[in-house]
Amino acid sequence: MGFTDTRFDVNLSILFTELPLLERPAAAAAAGFTAVELWWPWVDAPVPEQAELDALRDALNDAGTRLVGLNFYAGQLPGPDRGALSLPGEESEKFRANVPVAVEFARTMGCTALNALYGNRIEGVDPVLQDEVALANLTYAARAADSIGATLLIEALNKPESPLCPIVSAPKAIEIVDKVNAATGLGNAKFLMDLYHLAMNGEDLNEVIDAYADKTGHVQIADNPGRGAPGTGDLDFTDLVNRLKKAGYDGWVGLEYKPGDRPSAGAFEWLPAPLRAAGRH
């Protein structure tokens, strides 16, 4: 596959989950990877104990793995339970309480991409009010991310698996990106282009890449159907990744797929070992 100029990272919240969190960075390194990303690891704790943050930082550093992407708190994933789309009160306060914690952790790790999931609609509440709260939370997160030179990522999910999420298309995600940038004037909100979710939505991936590569801050991949490794479904990742490059995208491509009925270490046959170590090929 023609991936010699592509920087791949492994999402440790969907791969290597057969291992405890603190063992996953070393397992990724043993599989040949030098860069990783994470969903917020503490699903019940937007503000975990400092000792837990320190332990994760040490595990990443000891393994020699670079953290290149981190989600803000959104509750239990997949879902998400909440995210930015929360009413004033406890849930919105959880998101906002997490923002400075996640930003500080990202700063100490040199991570410059923070993903703010929009969340699910709340039944019986005016959607206009929900979107106003979400925009306020996202602008707060964007300003915090900007304080460390980081990008705020906005991701489209897929309607079959996340029917209550209102961000289930690339154009809708771009609309939110533009609203956040207009509200802050910072320009640091970007699109997280997850090719699996977009394929599940039935979108033309070539058209999405051509239209939005310049507004994309991160890419994630999994094959469709099944959310497995490339080669287990119908998507042509050689063509898609090359199209991204031609469109000017030179950022990270996160491996966010399920390993299937095998240990995660065996889920990378499609990617030659020399291409797993970002910056070393």
Catalytic residue numbers, as ranges: 155, 256
d(CA 257, CA 48): 26
CB 251 within 8 A of CB 6: no
